[in-house]
Structure 1
Amino acid sequence: MKVSIRHQVSPYLVFFIIYNSQVGVGILSFQRTIAEKAGYDAWMGVLAAGCLVQVLIWVMYKLLGKANGDIIDVHTATFGKLLGKFLSLFIVIYYALASLSVMLEFIEIIQVWMFSAVPSWVISALILMLVYYCISGGFRIVVGLSFLSFIFPQILILVLYMFPLKIAQFSNLLPIMNHSFMDMLDSIKSSMYTIAGTEALLMFYPFIRNPDESRKFAHLGVLFTTLLYTISSIVSFTFYSEEQLKTTIWPELSLTKIIKFSYLERFEYLYISMYLVIVTALISLLLWCSSRGLKKIFNMKQKYALLIISLGSVLICQLANEQFDAMLDKYITQMNLYAFYVYIPLLLLYFTLFKRGNQSG
């Protein structure tokens, strides 16, 4: 089904969509995770992971261009309607679970740092009402929110790095390359999950006007976020000792404690509040992908699919515990690795060899 040009977005906006899809609450805590085995060499793992994401972007554009549609169209053309929709359902479920993971982590941050007495269902319901309102306006509204999530919070993030760099100890990064190859691989794997999100392209590809022109903006978006994550890791590594980093759950968020103004004592409150824009934009994108997928698979109205997912998310957020959070993160990490970095390249190979598709893609 061809998307009307009225609902499509300009190619350059893909830069902001990719940024929005990759920068979430993970940037607040990933430094501790990637340094667990690779130590302060882990920043190189972030760069390597960024290169792999660039390859994945190329593969997805090649695959979607050949099918001239989204991942559901690819599956249908390759495996038929029944099996194709069944396989597509796993991708759609991934989007919903990824949004749930982002929601749970942000709720934890709000409860630990700001409002400990507010129930999880209240926070999730308020965020999802805003998300529902945005998605109801169409994909162009979701993209507009992605643009806003880049402009305003990005300035705050870059300003944040100026303060710890004044007292940074760059000697913490030395000696370089003093960890094993397997430790570096573990760091790359952790980084790949942290900067995940580009797989949303599999659903919004038909909504790009002249998608071939958007490739360079998608690659630039990945390059920008890779550099952002690399800078974030280096700033944290030069500010914290390895022992401090092991006990700091949100290293980047904790950096805000050193920022003091005469008129503003608790800068982290402002930082978390501004971060709500980023989280809302990311959840909106993921739930748009999920509800759009359910609409195509089950031939239902998107607003009903979105309502079902939203109500389910509120319920799960209220009932979730630490064990569930850990299990969810593990499942999403494995699914992200195998479904996108293994399955999608194999699907491109199969589609190229056995299906004609759109040979101009």
Structure 2
Amino acid sequence: MKKYAFNELTVLQYVFFIHGTQVGIGVLSMPRELAEEAGTDGWISILIGWVCATVASLLIVNIMKRYPGKTIVDLIPVFFGKWLGMVVSALVACYCALAAMTVIANGIGIVNVWILSQTPGYVLAILTVIPTYMVVQGGLRVLGRYAELIFYLTLWMPIVVFSILPYSNWLHLLPVLKDGWMPVFSATKSTILSFLGFELAFFLYPFLQRKQYASLGIVVANTLSMLIFMHITVFSFSFFSPDEITQYTWPTLNLWKVIEYRFLERIDIIFLAFYLFFLSTTTLPYMYFTVFTTSQMVGSADHRKHLFILMILIVVGAWLYTPTFIDLKKWSEVWSMTGMVGGYIIPVIWWLAIQLFRRGKGGQKG
């Protein structure tokens, strides 16, 4: 019997799992970050970031094809030994925990600023960890179904953005490459980091039912994320002037603030409420793989005890410490740097090592 048969994912769940992990905080701030680096040519950086993320994703899938029944946590002791493997596994768990904590803290900060300005952060943390525990305790299959459900529930959001078309000025996007290619390449850094989430394929591959579609699935997931990033970025560039957009911390929220209907005002509040579900599809996978890794380290198949402890630590941490906007930015930068190593650099090095090993054996498989 397969080790992970109980938590197997369908191809669609696999696609939406990775896509949901990618579409998180970046959607809110990406238009501003791109405008600061490359002006209204920043949309080109999204395409370059998509290419980089897709190449790295395919390398990860190609690597994991050699170990179809094992996750990265199973492989670490094989390559590093028992004790050094424990250290590396702990670093993997810390990376996943950092990603989850960064998204949770940013989500709480956004809600504090935009909706519940008088509500203490620890209260929002309690309201966050209760549904988080209920979903994550169900395991990977439940998370896959959850990601698929949230994708369908939020399909209306990109459609509503078309309401600003009459107020858009597409001349803001012209001329293309007004400052050359260097600003575009400089802005690519923020886009390739926004695609982080595909590195979870190191964990997901053995859970996939039809592994022959792993490459296609991860390309589709990256493409869906690219279309979302491109959609909101282009509309933001066309609505705000090139100088105005850099003044907003979260220009996507400001974009939704101007959308109104006769029967409904402040649709940005509704958007933010639904967007919290989007944030959860980023938080929950990293949360799950944090406790999945720690439970595997101690030889336990049940991750719920570790999850309960992590939830308590989050609430206590939110009660003792409220991060500032600068702190959140630093957390995001650390996550970005570690994600760059884990998502882009390590797959390239690992793949090259496999190719050199194969050549050393005369091209034989093994």
Which residue in 2 is equivalent to 1:257? 257
Measured in 1, the distance between the counterparts of 2:317 and 2:326 equals 13
Which residue in 2 is equivalent to 1:337? 340
Residue correspondence of structure 1 range 209-248 to structure 2 within 5 A: 209-248=209-248
Which residue in 2 is equivalent to 1:348? 351
Which residue in 1 is equivalent to 2:109? 108
> Following TM superposition, by how much is the alpha carbon of 1:2 offset from its aligned partner in structure 2, in angstroms?
4.0
Which residue in 2 is equivalent to 1:272? 272
Query: Partner amino acid for 1:132?
Result: Y
Deviation sequence 1:229-276 (CA, Å, 0-9, x none): 112111100110122111111111111122222322111121111112
- Change in Cα spacing, 1:338 to 1:4, as seen in structure 2 (3 Å) is closer
Q: Which moved more, 1:298-307 or 1:241-250?
A: 298-307
Measured in 2, the distance between the counterparts of 1:336 and 1:194 equals 10
Measured in 2, the distance between the counterparts of 1:360 and 1:143 equals 33
Deviation sequence 1:97-116 (CA, Å, 0-9, x none): 11111111111111111110
Which residue in 2 is equivalent to 1:49? 49
Measured in 2, the distance between the counterparts of 1:281 and 1:227 equals 17
Query: Partner amino acid for 2:162?
Result: M
Which residue in 1 is equivalent to 2:324? 321
Measured in 1, the distance between the counterparts of 2:137 and 2:272 equals 26
Measured in 2, the distance between the counterparts of 1:181 and 1:298 equals 50
Identity percentage over the alignment? Answer: 23
Aligned to 1:66, the other structure's residue is in SS state: coil
Which residue in 1 is equivalent to 2:14? 14
Which residue in 2 is equivalent to 1:23? 23
Aligned to 1:67, the other structure's residue is in SS state: coil
Residue correspondence of structure 1 range 137-216 to structure 2 within 5 A: 137-156=138-157, 158-216=158-216
> Following TM superposition, by how much is the alpha carbon of 1:360 offset from its aligned partner in structure 2, in angstroms?
7.9
> Following TM superposition, by how much is the alpha carbon of 1:315 offset from its aligned partner in structure 2, in angstroms?
3.2
> Following TM superposition, by how much is the alpha carbon of 1:4 offset from its aligned partner in structure 2, in angstroms?
4.0
Measured in 2, the distance between the counterparts of 1:360 and 1:74 equals 19
Deviation sequence 1:173-222 (CA, Å, 0-9, x none): 11111234442222110111122111122122221112222321221111
Deviation sequence 1:42-74 (CA, Å, 0-9, x none): 100011001111111111111111122211223
Which residue in 2 is equivalent to 1:5? 5
Asked whether the 8 Å contact 1:146–1:282 carries over to 2, the reply is: no
- Change in Cα spacing, 1:179 to 1:87, as seen in structure 2 (3 Å) is farther
Measured in 1, the distance between the counterparts of 2:237 and 2:57 equals 29
Query: Partner amino acid for 2:279?
Result: V
Deviation sequence 1:292-319 (CA, Å, 0-9, x none): 1111123244112212322222333341
> Following TM superposition, by how much is the alpha carbon of 1:128 offset from its aligned partner in structure 2, in angstroms?
1.4
State the Cα RMSD in Å: 2.1
Which residue in 1 is equivalent to 2:99? 98
Measured in 1, the distance between the counterparts of 2:156 and 2:170 equals 24
Measured in 2, the distance between the counterparts of 1:88 and 1:5 equals 23
TM-score by length of 1: 0.93
Which residue in 1 is equivalent to 2:125? 124
Asked whether the 8 Å contact 1:127–1:280 carries over to 2, the reply is: no
Which residue in 2 is equivalent to 1:33? 33
Measured in 1, the distance between the counterparts of 2:47 and 2:298 equals 40
Asked whether the 8 Å contact 2:96–2:289 carries over to 1, the reply is: yes
Query: Partner amino acid for 1:348?
Result: W
Which residue in 1 is equivalent to 2:282? 282
Query: Partner amino acid for 1:61?
Result: V
Measured in 2, the distance between the counterparts of 1:231 and 1:152 equals 18
- Change in Cα spacing, 1:185 to 1:88, as seen in structure 2 (3 Å) is farther
Aligned to 2:243, the other structure's residue is in SS state: helix
Measured in 1, the distance between the counterparts of 2:57 and 2:107 equals 27
Measured in 2, the distance between the counterparts of 1:97 and 1:341 equals 18
Deviation sequence 1:59-99 (CA, Å, 0-9, x none): 11111111222112232222223223322322221111111
Asked whether the 8 Å contact 1:3–1:207 carries over to 2, the reply is: no
Aligned pair count reads 358
Which residue in 1 is equivalent to 2:72? 71
